[in-house]
């Protein structure tokens, strides 16, 4: 089975997301899930990201099967959680004042897919993603954080770094390289973190 890549971003996170998805190779053996703090507002994030990749990008739909080589974006006002083989959407309580939020995605992915999960926290305010990234690492997945000095809004990276002691704290260019390598893998386990 392929890797599950989960990315979280908020303020200042669009450009890092574009850089990461543009680096994903074709074919891609992983499934990619993105949460950005859009609240209940209409979101054109899939259209924006589609301009940076040849992979199909769309808002996730409830109970849809998880397929490799696709990018799923949490839709407005819905938490996106992963069950074994499927996506679950709900209007559960806001997490860190956000819905969609990163922690529900990260935690559910870790519980369902364990070592196959890569969690990435990018630029954004508040602490969303910190607890989820800790759970990903606890389940044997790979935890990556955008270097706070590079992030235009460093709150989320700083919170994740403090809570998780992530496997790596990197500039976006190096995160994109790691993600590209995982997407090209034909193995069930996430590559071991390097120095």
Per-residue model confidence as pLDDT tens for the chain (195 residues): 689 999 999 999 999 999 999 999 999 999 999 999 998 988 999 999 999 999 999 999 999 999 999 999 999 999 999 998 999 999 999 998 999 999 999 999 999 999 999 999 999 998 999 999 999 999 999 999 999 999 999 999 999 999 878 999 999 999 999 999 999 875 344 444 444
67-89 burial code (b ≥16 CB/10 A, e <16): ebbbbbbbbbebbbbbeeeebbb
Q: Both tokens of residue 182?
A: 């995982």
Residue 52: how many other CB atoms lie within 10 Å: 17
128 is an active site residue: yes
Catalytic residue among 103, 126, 128, 167: 128
Model confidence, pTM: 0.93
Beta partners for 82?
87
Catalytic residue among 10, 31, 43, 153: 10
Residue with tokens 């259209």: 47
Catalytic residue among 2, 37, 43, 167: 37
């Amino acid at each position: 089975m392929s890797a599950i890549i989960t990315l979280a971003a908020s303020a200042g996170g669009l450009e890092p997301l574009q850089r990461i998805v543009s680096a994903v190779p074709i074919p891609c053996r992983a499934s990619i899930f993105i949460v950005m703090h859009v609240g209940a507002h209409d979101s054109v994030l899939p259209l924006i990201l589609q301009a940076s990749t040849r992979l199909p990008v769309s808002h996730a739909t409830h109970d849809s099967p998880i397929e490799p080589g696709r990018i799923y974006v949490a839709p407005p006002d819905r938490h996106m959680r992963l069950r074994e083989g499927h996506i679950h959407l709900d209007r559960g309580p806001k997490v860190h004042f956000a819905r969609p939020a990163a922690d529900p995605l990260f935690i559910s992915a870790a519980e369902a897919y364990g070592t196959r999960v890569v969690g990435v926290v990018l630029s954004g305010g508040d602490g969303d993603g910190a607890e989820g990234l800790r759970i990903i690492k606890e389940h044997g997945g790979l935890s990556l954080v955008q270097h706070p000095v590079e992030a235009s809004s460093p709150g989320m990276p700083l919170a994740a770094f403090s809570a998780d002691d992530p496997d790596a704290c990197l500039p976006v260019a190096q995160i994109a390289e790691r993600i590209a390598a995982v997407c090209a893998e034909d193995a069930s386990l996430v590559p071991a973190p390097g120095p």
